[in-house]
Structure 1
Amino acid sequence: MTSADFADRGETDPISRFTEDWQCCLRGDRNEPPPIAEYIPDGTKVRLAVLTDLVRIDLRHRWDREGLGKRIAEYRKEFPEVEHSAELVDLLCEEFLARRRYAPLELADFLAEYPELAQDVRVRLAGYADDDDDTAADTERATALVAGLAPGHRIDDFDLLTDLGTGTLGRVFLARQRSMQRLVAVRLSAGRVAGGHSMAQLDHPHLVRVFDQRLVTASTAEAPASTRLVYMQYLPGGTAAGVLAERRRGPESEGGALLLRAIDAAMEARGEIRPSDSSVRAEIAALSWPETVAWIGRRLADALNYAEQHGVLHRDIKPANVLFTAEGIPKFADFAARTAAPRSASNPLAAEPDSLPYRSPEQLAELLDPAGPSPGPSSDIYALGALLWELLAGATPFDDPPMPADPDARAETIATMVALRERGVTAAALRELPADTPSALLRVLLECLRADPQRRWRNGAELAAQLDLCLDERARELVDPAPTSFAHRSRGWLIPILALCVGVPNLLASVYNINLNNSLIIDRMTAADQERFAAGGLVTNLIAFPIAALLLLFLTRRPLTIGFRLARGREYSPRTLAAARRDTLQMGDWAVWVPFGFWLIAGVVWPLAPVFFGVDLPRATFLHFYAAQVVCAAIALAYPFFPIMVYAVRSIYPQLLVRGGVGAEDEEQLRKLAKRGNFYLGVAASVPLLGVASATFVDAADLDLVIVSVRVLSVGGILAFVLTYRLFRMLEADLLALARAIPQRKR
C-alpha cells in the first residue's frame, strides 16, 4: 500500500504524518514526541512494515535528543509484533549506531543485551562498517553483480523496474518495494559507499528522503558478493541536467514555464502524468527565468544549511544530483561525505569529469595535492553558485578546457581550472546572463564564486536569505539599486544629507523663535539689556551647537564610517556589522532627540543667563520663552526623522544587509522602527496645535504681535505634515520589504 492508497481511502500516510509531527517536536511546536501507537494502521496488510518504519524514525530522532533515547528492547515490549519483523536485526544495528554517536559503547557490551541475535547483529554491523569511512572498497565480484542487474530482476525486497542511470555513488533503478508496495529509487553500489546511513538521518523538504540502506549478499558465478543497497524517495521530474538541456534549447524569456516544460518532458519519458492542479506549478509559471533560478537556489541552499547542521556535506553538487518532484520542487540527492570524513585512498584525479566544473578552487586543488587543507562547507556554497549560474546563463561561469579521458593526464587541466577560478568571472561570462537578471541575483552569485572561501556566504542560511531577497522586487531594488539611481549615488553623502535634514527644520524653528521672542520680549528691553540678552544667547549657541554636533557624530560613527569603508573593500566581523545595522536604524532617533533635548535645556539656560548678568525679566517672560522653545523642540523632533530614515534605509542600511549575518534580531529592529514612525508622525501632526496652544499664553493686547508667526507656523506645519505623511508611508513600505528579506527562524 502506497501513500496514494492511504489518500484514496481518505487517510494520510502515517509515516509522513509521524515524520512531520516529529519535526514539530524538534522545532519546539510540540512538547512531547508523537506516540507511535496513534500512527499504526489497523488491520492492513502492511501494518508490520509501517510499524517497523515508525520505530526506525522514532529511534533516530530520540537518540538525537538528550534524555529521550529508547532501546529496541523497549519497543519490543510495547509492540510485541516487532519481534516478527524481518528488519529486527537492522533495527538493532540502528540502535547500536545511534547510541554510539550519543556516548561510547563497546560492541560486546551491546551484543550482551541481545544474546539471541548477537551473531546476526555482528555480521550485519560488519557490513555497515562505519559511515565515517569514505573509502570505496569495491570488489570485482560486486562490481560485476551491479553491472549485470537489469529491469525485471529482483534483489532483496525490491523489483527493479527502470534503469535511472549511473552516478558517482552507484547505479540507480526505479523499483517497487514489495513489503510496502511503494515505488522507490534504489541505488546499488559495490562495497561500502558512504552516504546512505548519514542521509537516512536527514529529514528536510529539499533533500531526497533516504529511507534506509542494507548490505545485500547475492551469488555470482564465482562466489557470493556483498552489494550496498540504499533505497530512497522516487522523484519523477527528472534532474537539473534536463532543465539545463531545455534552457539551452528554449528562450529564457519563457521564465518558469521553461522549468515546467523540462519536468513534464522527464515525466512523459517515464510514463508519468503531470499534476493537473498545483499551486506550486502556478507559482513557478508566474516567475521570470532569473526569479526561477533564485527560487530553486533558495530551496537548495536551505537544504545545504540543514545538512551542514547535521554534520554532513554534499561535496558532489552537479546537475545530476538535483532532482525535481512532479510539481517542480528541487531536492538534493547523493550527499557524499560527513564533515569529518577522511580522504579517499583512491586516485583523486579519477573524479567524475561531470563534477569538476562545479567544484571550488580548493576542491580542485585537493585533487592535485591530497595532503593539502581539506575543503569545508563553503565549497558546497561555491558549487551551488556555479550550478545556479549555469542554469541562469545556459553556460558555466568559467571557460574550462576539455577534460582528458585518462585520469593521469588531468593534472594540467585541473591546474588551469584552478587558475581560472582564482581570476574570477570574466566580462564574457557576464554578457551571457539574461538581460533581465536583477543586480541582486548577480551580486549573490558572484559572492558564491569568490576564490577565497572566507569571503563567500558563511552558510546555506545566509545564501537562502539573499536568494529570498532576489524574489522580492521591492526589496531587491532597495538592496541593489541601479548605479544611476539617487539611492546608489548618494551613498557617500551621509554627512551632508544628515546636516541638511537636521539643519533645515532647526533653522526654521530658530527663525520662528527669534521672531516670537523679538515681538514679546527683546523689543521691550533697554538697549543694554538687549545686548546682555544677545550675548547670553550667543554664548549658549556657541556651546550648545558644537556639543550637539559632536554628540551626533559620535552616535552615528558606525554608519558614517563602516558603509564608506565597505564600499572600498574593507571587511568587518558579523558582530561589528550587526552593531552598524542597529545604529543605522537609530540614526533618525538620535538626530531628533539630541536637538530636542538641547532646545529644552536652552529654554531654561538662555533666559537665566541675562538674569545672572543683571537683566530684570518679568516672570511672564520666562513662560513665553519656554513655550516658544517647546514648539521649536517639537519641530526639531518631528521633521528631520523621516527624511533621515528614508535616506538611511534606502542608501546606508542595504550595504550592511547584503554582508550577511542577519537574523531575527534585525527583523525585530525593522519592525520596531516602523512602530516608532507612528510616534513621530503624531508629533508632526501636533506642531500646528502646539503653536496655537502657545498663543493662549500671550496677553490679549499682544496677540497682534504673534498672530502672523502663529499663522505661518500652522499653515507650514500642515504642509510639512502632508510631506511627512508621504515619507512615513514610503518608510513603512521599505521596512516591510526589508523585513521580508531577513531570514526567518524557520523556513
Structure 2
Amino acid sequence: MTEETIGRPDVEPDRFAELRTLWLRQGGTPSSLAGLVKSDLRRRFAEGQRPAIADYLEALPDLGADSERMLSLIYEEFCLREEAGEAPDPDSFCERYAPWRDSLASQLNYHRMLSQAVGVPPGTPPRYPEPGEHFLRFRLRSVLGQGGAARVFLADDEELGGRLSALKISSDRGEEPSIMGRLQHPHIMPVFNVVRDEETGLRGLCMPYRPGRPLDQVIRRMEKIPPARRSARTLLEAAAPEDLSVKVEWPGFPRRGSYVDACCWLGAALADALGHAHSRGIMHRDVKPANILLSATEGPQLLDFNLAHDPNAPDRAESALRGGTLPYMAPEQLEAFKDPDRWKEVGPSADLYALGLVLRELITGDRPEAPPPDLPLPRAINDLLAARVDGWPPVRSANPQASHALDSVLRRCLAYHPADRYRSASELSDDLRAVLSRRPMLHEHNPSRRERIRFWFCRHRIGLAVSAALALGTVAMVLVNRETVADSNRYVSLGRVAFAKSENSDGAEKHQWIVESKTAFHRALELDRTNVRAYLGMGIIANAEGNHAAAIRYLSRALQLVQAPQNLSPFELAELHFTLAQARVGIALQDHSQVEPMIGLALEGLDIAAREMARADSDGRNADPDPVRSAPDSRIADPDRVRRNASFESLKAEIALWRVRALVHLAAVSPTSFMERVELYENALQLIDPYRDLLRREELGMVKKLENLVGQRAGTARESSDLLDGLERPGSP
C-alpha cells in the first residue's frame, strides 16, 4: 500500500484505515498525518467527490491534536469547494467547525479580501521610457534590470556633467525614497535624489552606478558547479561584472578561503546592513537574492525598500507573489497576509528569517520552493506556511563544506517562532564572523565537540607548532595559555582604539573600524570570559549601533563581574553606569510602555555615575586607566581622536545632560500634573547649569527652551515632546 493507491476505486474502500496504516508507517507524526489527509482530500476533489474534513476528523481523531494543522486542513476544504464551483457560506461553514470558529472566521475574511484584490483586473501599466530616450534630466543608456513594478537604467545625469547613475523608474507611490534617505550604511545602496514626472506619474530614484551583478544572477552562474566543489574564488568570478576592466575587490573578503567562508562573510555584511535599518525602526520585509547587488567595488548592497512601508494591503501580497518574494517570507509575515491583525507580530526577526533562507540557498544551491503560478493566492500562502511548520533540512546534507556551527546559526535563523531566532541582526553578524574565524560563537552553541576541538587547534596552530618544536609538552601549553589570558587586556586596548577611530570616521571607514573593534573585544572574551572591560566595550558599541537590548545584556554582565577581583576604576564605573542608562533611555524611546521602569533605572544609574565621577575627582583625576591612552599600538597617531566620553570633564557633562534628557522624557509621556512637570524641568536646569560651557549648540538651544518654559510656568506634555525632538536621540552614531 502506498500514498498513490489511496482513493483509487480498485483498492480497499476503507480509505481511513489505509490512511492510518500509512501514517503509522511514516512515523506517526502530526505533520505526516496532515500531509496524507491533505493529499487525499485534493485527490478526491479532483475525482469529483466532495469530502469534508469533519469526516476525516471523526475517523482519525489524532488530527484534532494540532490546532494549527487542523485549521490549515479546514481552510483547504473551503478553498477546494470554491474552486469546484461551490459558493460555501462562510458563517455556516465556520459553524461546522465550532472549536476553530473564531480563527477560521478571521482567516476566511482575509481570504475574501485577498481574492478580491487578486481578481481586480490590473490597471494599464505605465509606459516606461526606452534606452536612448530622456527621463527629465537623465539620458537613458541601457536597462540594468527590471521587475514587475520598476525598471533600472544606466543613465547620464546631464545636469551634473553626464555623471553615470543608476536610475530606478517606477510609479510614484510608496515611501521608498524617504525610507532610503534615512539609511547611511556601506552595504545599503544610497539614494542621491528623487525626480518626478508629473505628466506620466513616474518617479526616478537616482543612485550611484556600481558595476556588479544581483545575487540571484550570481547563484544562476554557479549552478553548474556543485556547492561542495566551490571556493571563495568561485563566488568572486560569478560576481564579476560584464565590464572586465572593473576588478572585484572587497576589503576583508576571505579570498583564499572556502566557499562557505565567503558565504559567511557575505551574510555578516548583510546582517550589519539590516541591523542599521532596524536600529532606525525600518524593516526591509523583502530580503531575497534579487534585492541584493554584489557590487564589484563596494561588496553586497541591500536594495529595494519598497515593501518597507505599509506592506499589509492585500495588493502587496499579489505583488510579492509576482516578484518571487513569498518563498522567502517568515511564517508570521505569511500569517499577516491572511490576518491583518497579526502585522504587529512582524518584527526585525522576519528579515533575519529571510536572510537565513538567502544564505541557505547560497550555500546549498537549493532555492526555496515557490507555489505554482496558477495556484490561487490564499492557497499559495497556506502551502508555504505548511512547509515552514515542517522545517528545513540541515545545510550539511546538501553541502558537506558547511560546519556544524554554521548549521546551528541557520537553524536558529529559520526557527518557526520569532522568539526562537536571533534577538537582533548584530547577534547574527557576530556569530557568522565567529564561524568564519573559527571562534566560539557568542549567541549560539556548536553541538559538535569534535568540531570545537578542531577549531581550537586551527586558532592555536602557530603556538602549538612552536611548543612542539621546543619539545616542552605540557609545560609549554601552560605557558601558551598564560600568555593567551594575559593578551585579553591587549585586545581590549585594541578594541577601544578602533572604536575611538570609528567615532572620527565616516562611511565605509567608520564601518571597518567598528568591525575591527568588535573583533578585538570578541577575541578578548574568547581568551578571558571574565574580562569586565571587554563586556563594557561590547556594550558601548551595541548602544552606539542602536541595539539597546544587547547593550543592556553586555553591561549588566559587566556589572556582575565588577564584584570580582578585576575591578574597574571610578572613571570606568561611571562610564559603565552612564552607557547602561543611555541604553535604558533608548528602550524607553522605542517602547512607551517601558518608560517609567526604564527611566527610573536610568536615573538611578546616572546618579551612580555622577557619584563615581566625584570619587574619581577626589582621587586627583588620576583614576582613568583607559587602555586607549596606553595601548602599545602604533596606530594611535593623534590623541585628539580619542572619543568624547574619554575626556573627564566631557563625561561629567554627558552624565548631567542625560539626566536632563531622562527627566524631560519622563515629563513628556508620564501622566504627571502641571506642577510636577514644572518641578521636573527645574530639576533638569539645576543639573545642567555647571556644564553649560561644554554643551553643543543644539543642547544649549534645548536648555534655553527649558528656561523659557519654567519662566512662563508652562509644562504641557506636548511641549515636553517638542523638547525631546530637539535632543540627539540616544545611541545614534
| TM-score, normalisation: structure 1 | 0.43
Structure with higher Rg: it is: 1
Structure scoring higher RCO (CA < 8 A, sep ≥ 6) equals 1
